[in-house]
């Protein structure tokens, strides 16, 4: 299965080899078990401002910048863009609620994936649509030695959020690697679309309530039910890559 996924990736992207040197991690739903709190905060703020939404929307929208999410809701409800003031006020309200609800729990199995990546000699970077200072600042504390601010891409760094490929292309640039020299690890359809659009081998972990098919339809090259399952299969992934390289 892994070997087949690599072969399909190489053919689709017209690459000769997959030789990873870096792993680009999404943050919410991958490194932190925080998406349930984001979704709750978004839904409460949307309801307060009479914006049409259901809870699942915010799992589907995950990866977008806050402004983009607010604009989508305004277009859906009022058929117009949100004003700069509306975007600022609503995102501030959402951020306050999220900070109240969030328990800061790391995602189960995430540290095991990070250890495996480091043991494989790979760089580890964060590429997130988040503009939540509280989580970004906490990364180095939760996962000491794995991330630095200089090698993070956040909502503050990009012009276009996911599903646009810009965030992951910037991640490649900061890592100093080519598209066939990285993995993306994502839990959200828009994040997967961004990784795939950037031409990077994209691994999905379904840590939320969405159906597996939603993530596969977004273009995931591999799919795991959890970060723990990915950690357990990491050696098999690296072995399949080595086999692929030996055949070239």
**Tokens linked to 156:** 């503050």
Instruction: Give span(s): CATH 3.40.50.1000, the chain.
Output: 2-34+105-246
Strand order in the sheet with 182-186: 152-153, 123-127, 22-25, 182-186, 201-205, 222-224
Secondary-structure percent of the chain, ordered helix, strand, coil, rounded to 5:
55, 10, 35
Torsion of CA 14, 193, 23, 208, to 10 degrees: -140
Instruction: Give span(s): CATH 1.10.150.240, the chain.
Output: 35-101
pTM, full prediction: 0.91
Residue pLDDT, tens place only, 44-77: 999 999 999 999 999 999 888 889 999 999 999 9
The pLDDT score that the predictor gives to residue 126 is 95
Burial of 228 (0-12, 13-18, 19+ CB in 10 A): middle
Query: If you ran DSSP here, which 8-state letter would residue 82 be given?
Result: P
Residue pLDDT, tens place only, 180-196: 999 999 999 999 999 99
User: Residue 142: pLDDT above 90?
Assistant: yes
- Please give the share of the chain, as a percent, with pLDDT higher than 90: 81
Give 2-34+105-246's CATH code, choosing from 3.40.50.1000, 3.90.1150.10, 3.30.200.20, 3.40.50.620. 3.40.50.1000
Residue pLDDT, tens place only, 209-247: 999 999 999 999 999 999 999 999 999 999 999 887 766
Distance, CA of 248 to CA of 75 (rounded, Å): 50
> Which residues sit opposite 184 in a β-bridge?
24, 202
Q: What number is the average pLDDT over the span 132-153? A: 82
Q: Which fold has domain 35-101?
A: DNA polymerase; domain 1 (1.10.150)
């Amino acid at each position: 299965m892994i070997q087949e996924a690599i072969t399909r990736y190489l053919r689709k992207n017209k690459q000769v080899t997959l030789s990873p040197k870096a792993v680009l991690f999404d943050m919410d739903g991958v490194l932190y078990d925080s998406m349930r709190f984001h979704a709750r905060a978004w839904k409460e703020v949307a309801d307060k401002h009479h914006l049409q939404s259901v809870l699942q929307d915010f799992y589907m929208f995950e990866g977008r910048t806050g402004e983009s999410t607010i604009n989508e809701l305004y277009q859906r409800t009022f058929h117009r863009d949100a004003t700069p003031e509306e975007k600022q006020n609503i995102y501030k309200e959402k951020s306050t609620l999220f900070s109240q609800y969030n328990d800061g729990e790391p995602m189960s199995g995430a540290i095991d994936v990070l250890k495996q990546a480091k043991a494989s000699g790979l760089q580890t970077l964060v590429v997130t649509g988040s503009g939540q200072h509280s989580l970004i600042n906490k990364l180095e504390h939760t996962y000491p030695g794995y991330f630095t601010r200089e090698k993070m891409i956040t909502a503050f760094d990009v012009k276009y959020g996911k599903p646009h490929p810009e965030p992951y292309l910037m991640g490649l640039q900061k890592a100093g690697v080519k598209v066939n020299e990285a993995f993306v690890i994502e839990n959200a359809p828009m994040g997967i679309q961004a990784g795939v659009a950037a031409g990077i081998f994209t691994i999905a972990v379904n840590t939320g309530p969405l159906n597996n098919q939603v993530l596969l339809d977004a273009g995931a090259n591999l799919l795991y039910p959890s970060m723990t399952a990915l950690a357990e299969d990491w050696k098999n992934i690296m072995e399949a890559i080595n086999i692929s390289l030996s055949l070239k």
